[in-house]
Structure 1
Amino acid sequence: MRVRTRLGAVCVLAALLTGCQGAPGGGTERDGRPGERRAAAASPAPARPSGYGAVFLAVDECSSFGRTSFTEVSCTGERAAARVVARHDGTVRDGPRCPATTDFVLHISEQRPSSDEDGDGAVPRGYACMRNLQPPHPGDPGGGGGPRTIVGDCVYGLGDGRVRETACDGGGRRKPEYEVTKAVDDRSKCPASTALYVRLGGTSPVGCARPV
């Protein structure tokens, strides 16, 4: 999914997604609704509603969902769909990891527009870790999605030693083949029932998975 916002291009990053770009034409879903930010990067910034800080999509701020776009909206509004649970500068690859149950990640590209949130002439590259306000929560254990694989998640094999996450209840496009039952710092610490090792990252980078 892609969007052009006043602060830059935003897209959802899945586990294998590596880039994003602004939507053609620089448009958004709609402009002018209370609690929303306009999307025209080159136009002067309108008066900012109360509650918005110096950072676009800061922690505890909310976004809407659209068919092709996301916009920051008031968390008390009817269009609020997901909340920021963590916000970092830089890239996902080089920055801190999102919380374990993050549902999706929004990537914010670096921009130097004529006007920006804090008036310093720059909007730094960063990313927002998002959690849906209502179910489903693909980032939950067994949910079949989210940017991280965690204990309780299920995967299926892609060949060549690669795996992909899928819902443990069988409701995804592919049936689960293995479930991650434990996270350890070394393969030798996995239980005897382990049939597959899954790369998790972090301080316990090895996932011990058993057949389901």
Structure 2
Amino acid sequence: MAAVVLAVAALSGCQAWSGGVGEEPDEPVTTSAPTRPTGYGTVFLGVDECSSFGTTSFTEVPCAGERAAARVVARHDGRVGQGPLCPPTTDFVLHISESTDEQGGHDEDGGAVEDEDGDGSVPQGYACMRKLQPPHPGDPGGGGGPRTIVGDCVYGAGRGEVRETACDGNGRHDPEYEVTTAVDAKARCPAATDLYVRLGGSRPVGCAVPL
């Protein structure tokens, strides 16, 4: 039976850009989860289901159990870059794929699945996760999460790039700018705007001011 494989996105909030210059996110950490967990739902890590925390593995666990650490707030098929954005205050993202063996993998309905790039896994989707307990890096000013949102702070990372950091100064880097407004075009930013940050979504331009 095929095993479910997870990759957790970095919590560094790397979806910020300065002046339209893109920034690639850090490489995700790949980890294996138990084969086909049962008893918690028909879909592995479906909406409102919970996962444990770990550095190399994440498993589906009952939300009322002592091992529960984060809840699924949204679940989408396909790859993260090709699917819908996670909710703004998502703390981290789990990339879910299915390992293939020499005979080939199988989907949940028993049909054949194709390993497109030959890496031994087939993308099945991704889960947007919210921690059950604070701190929440995805909150405005929290310094992390997969999205940069209004209320977040960033610092210059060189080469025209910016990265997210905690607004309270407790992160590894001091905050230099705060995203105060989200608009659909640069021209709609307030006059005090000193930096434009790419946010994504229906209002993809973040207007940031120096701190």
TM-score by length of 2: 0.80
Q: Residue 177 of structure 1 aligns with which residue?
A: 176
2:153 alignment partner in structure 1: 154
- CA offsets, 1:117-148, max 9 Å, x none? 55556675210000000001000000000000
2:84 to 92, 96, 100: 96
Letter in 2 for 1:187: K
In the other structure, the counterpart of 2:49 is 61
**Deviant stretches of 4+, over 2 Å:** 17-23, 110-124
Q: Distance in 2 between matches of 1:18 and 1:89?
A: 20
CA distance in 1, matches of 2:141, 2:112: 43
User: Whole-Å Cα distance in 2 between the matches of residues 116 and 78 of structure 1?
Assistant: 31
Q: Is the 8 A contact 1:83 1:133 kept in 2?
A: yes
Aligned length: 186
1:31 is aligned to none
Distance 1:72 1:158 in 2: 36
Gaps of 5+ in 2: 15-24, 114-121
Equivalent residue number for residue 93 of structure 2: 105
Secondary structure of the structure 2 residue equivalent to 1:109: strand
Question: CA–CA distance in 2 between the matches of 1:137 and 1:21?
Answer: 22
How far off its partner does 1:189 sit? 0.8
Amino acid in the other structure paired with 2:95: H
Can you list the C-alpha shifts for 1:1-40, whole angstroms capped at 9, x where unaligned?
xxxxx642212113313455445xxxx6xxxxxxxxxx2x
Matched ranges for 1:70-89 at <5 A: 70-89=58-77
> Is the 8 Å Cα contact of residues 31 and 58 (structure 2) preserved in structure 1?
no
TM-score by length of structure 1 reads 0.80
Taking the aligned partners of 2:186 and 2:27, their CA distance within structure 1 comes to: 28
**Aligned residue number for residue 165 of structure 1:** 164
1:13 correspondence with 2:12? no
1-structure distance, mates of 2:65, 2:111:
29
Cα drift, residue 190 of structure 1: 0.7
CA contact (8 A) 2:92 2:130 kept: yes
Report % sequence identity.
67
Q: Which amino acid aligns with 2:94?
A: L
Instruction: State the SS of the aligned residue for 1:125.
Output: strand
Q: Deviations over 1:138-187 (max 9, x none)?
A: 00000000000000000000112100000000010001000000001111
Amino acid at match of 2:83: G
* Separation (CA, whole Å) in 2 of partners of 1:187 and 1:98: 23
Distance between the aligned counterparts of 2:163 and 2:195, measured in 1? 13
Kindly state the Cα deviation for residue 111 of structure 1 after the two structures are TM-superposed: 3.8
Structure 2 match to 1:33: none
User: Distance between the aligned counterparts of 1:98 and 1:67, measured in 2?
Assistant: 22
Q: Return the alpha-carbon distance in structure 1 between the equivalents of residues 66 and 180 of structure 2.
A: 38
